[in-house]
Amino acid sequence: MSERWRGVIAALLNPDLRAALGEVLATADLTPARRERAMARLAEVGLVVEGPDGPQFDETMLRGILAESPRVRPTGPQRFLDGGGRIDRYPVQGADRHELLRWVADHAFAPGEVLGEDAVNERLSQFTDDTAALRRHLVDAELLERTRSGSEYALVDSDL
């Protein structure tokens, strides 16, 4: 799960960034009725309150969201995946690397399947752009094996 929303909220809490955003948005032509509805909605969600000089931005609600939403750090193989579920780095520790590769193998292949290199690369492309490196890592970790002819691959039977 992406945490990009944290960056958006942090940007809205920065007065300089809000002012710049306001300049960008100032080109919108709102009729008085549309402006009134928009201001009412902003007040309803807690972004605007009525101040002594008219409506003003209220950061209380945004700070509350940040405070109530604990950062959940990924665990297991997900620590090494980007927001799209693709490998963004290979673990340095051998046990972590094996765990990540096991996870990929379990998600990309089924027991008993025998696939050609193109099919293997297609399956691995959901995890990385460098399918050749990932395929080699899987073979080196003895999770994927090449058939005798060397033209096909299969999961290693883990029950052996």
* pLDDT at residue 2, as a whole number: 55
> How many CB atoms sit inside 10 A of residue 100's CB?
24
For residue range 101-153, what is the model confidence (pLDDT) as tens digits?
999 999 999 999 999 999 999 999 999 999 999 999 999 999 999 988 888 99
Largest CA distance in the chain: 81
Alpha-carbon dihedral 71, 63, 43, 27, rounded to 10 degrees: -90
Domains with residue ranges and CATH for the chain: 4-68 (no CATH), 76-155 (1.10.10)
pLDDT tens, residue by residue, 26-51: 777 888 898 888 888 888 888 888 88
pTM of full prediction above 0.75:
no
E strands in 11-157: 48-51, 54-57, 114-116, 144-146, 152-155
63-97 pLDDT, tens digit each: 888 777 666 778 899 999 987 889 999 999 999 99
Burial class (CB in 10 A: 0-12, 13-18, 19+), 152: middle
